[in-house]
Structure 1
């Protein structure tokens, strides 16, 4: 996990990146401070505690969806802190009357939550992504495949959300099942093969890896839809079957070409690759 803070209008927002779920989690109190424009941390913390009590009384799921993760405190020590993903923060922000609500929503979209960027402004988000990949040397063919794969992914996660898959950890488990089934590697192991640390694995996949990932996720969704898979256990079965279809196709292609679909290739700049490698050895 990476815990480098971010800034919103002069307010430091502590955050931590979960590599398995590829999700940023932000300190809720820090977000509250920025919303209230409150310089005093303890005042913001008391406001959050009262807000938690009210939301719990109202039966809101928002507080339940917050996670306690260790973040650096004012004394420099790592302490458990209420954190939330941008998706949860979107709901939470609605409960805090503040003229900064809309600006902070846009800020959250900019600091790295791809799915929420699509919700905020789909056209602008896609254009930004295209330009980013072009600047990093991706071909138009690769960009098209990456975006098609993202659309396939979004349809699958939408299905999961509608069929009792709620927690980020559940999304991560199902994603890992699909990935390990088709590729023979967990998501984390695949990242290690490519020498990645906090980077998004899909942004460093080859065209073939993107295609087989999309095939596995498309197959998973269609199998789940036919079976009307609901909840973790049924969706685990669909995920394994969907990944298995892509695995058969991968093995057949590898047999015909004599080349592995899964590779250690990445799009890291040479210096970034060296830094990533050195950081792992420490």
Structure 2
């Protein structure tokens, strides 16, 4: 579930942000514009990046991720973004009287997430309400929230076992999906007519259940064999997905029904957002795994 507020305001200046890897990431150029009032913050950032690299601050630059945010022309464009920790380091390199007030503001912006960490029930209820607002029924929401919990436990296990977030997570996820459904996530999205939408928010309950089975079995496999690093966890992912795939095949054989469906919830989401006056012209709904 992705928190809704993608734009926050500091001293009347908009700062775009996106929910990524369970934390807020902020558009670096927006922060630079706030702190420097530069007429061309993109150029300022290019120069600053070069200076940071020349000074040996490689990690500060490399920890910025290119994430899609809505640009001034209304299109989704890849933008350099930084999480709070990296943003603090960047701010230290920018001479500005607004630096300290901005740091305090940045900490306050993250307060809602801190509340959720301290009170997991609050996070779950916010997630439940989010999906209600998009028109999902309670049974589907229950299954989706369980799938989010299962996914979280798996990714936590991967982190503990030395798997790197980003590309390695994506590869392992694809291995589980291919072994479970016979489809990579990108292929599954094509079946459902999806592009930038989150696949799992358009799965039917059975697709979610078998996704959970593949991921939980993978986690158990990793624990049982004490898998360390990418390659060993890849083997666990394939075996976990294969077990789920066998269960799926048995279900389809016994019932004569296919699990994978071309159905998506795009029309439902659009209608729900129209009713709530939340539809802003975008046809792409972006929600985290």
**Alignment TM-score, normalising by the size of structure 1:** 0.72
Point out which structure has higher relative CO (alpha carbons under 8 A, 6+ apart).
2
Q: Residue 180 of structure 1 corresponds to which residue in structure 2? A: 178
Of 72, 84, 87, 1:90 maps to 84
1:183, CA displacement in angstroms?
0.9
Structure 1 SS opposite 2:83: helix
Structure 1 SS opposite 2:100: coil
Measure, in 1, the Cα distance between the counterparts of 2:78 and 2:134.
37
**Alignment TM-score, normalising by the size of structure 2:** 0.70
Whether 1:224 aligns to 2:226 is: no
1:64, CA displacement in angstroms?
2.9
| Contact 1:220 1:239 (C-alpha < 8 Å) held by counterparts | yes
Q: Residue 234 of structure 2 corresponds to which residue in structure 1? A: 236
| Contact 2:8 2:16 (C-alpha < 8 Å) held by counterparts | no
Structure 1 segments unaligned to the other structure (5+ residues)? 1-5, 278-282
Q: Residue 95 of structure 2 corresponds to which residue in structure 1? A: none
Q: 1:29 to 1:141 in 2, by over 3 A?
A: same
Q: 1:265 to 1:26 in 2, by over 3 A?
A: same
Of 124, 131, 134, 2:122 maps to 124
Q: Residue 252 of structure 2 corresponds to which residue in structure 1? A: 254
1:159, CA displacement in angstroms?
1.1
Measure, in 1, the Cα distance between the counterparts of 2:269 and 2:129.
22
Q: 1:159 to 1:257 in 2, by over 3 A?
A: same
Measure, in 1, the Cα distance between the counterparts of 2:67 and 2:139.
40
1:44, CA displacement in angstroms?
5.5
Measure, in 1, the Cα distance between the counterparts of 2:212 and 2:227.
19
| Contact 2:175 2:238 (C-alpha < 8 Å) held by counterparts | yes
Structure 2 segments unaligned to the other structure (5+ residues)? 1-5, 92-98, 272-281, 285-289
1:141, CA displacement in angstroms?
1.9
Alignment deviations for residues 78-121 of structure 1 (CA, whole Å, 9 cap, x no partner): x996x24xxx51321343453334644675799xxxx9995486
Of 190, 200, 210, 1:212 maps to 210
- Aligned length, in residue pairs: 255
Structure 1 SS opposite 2:61: coil
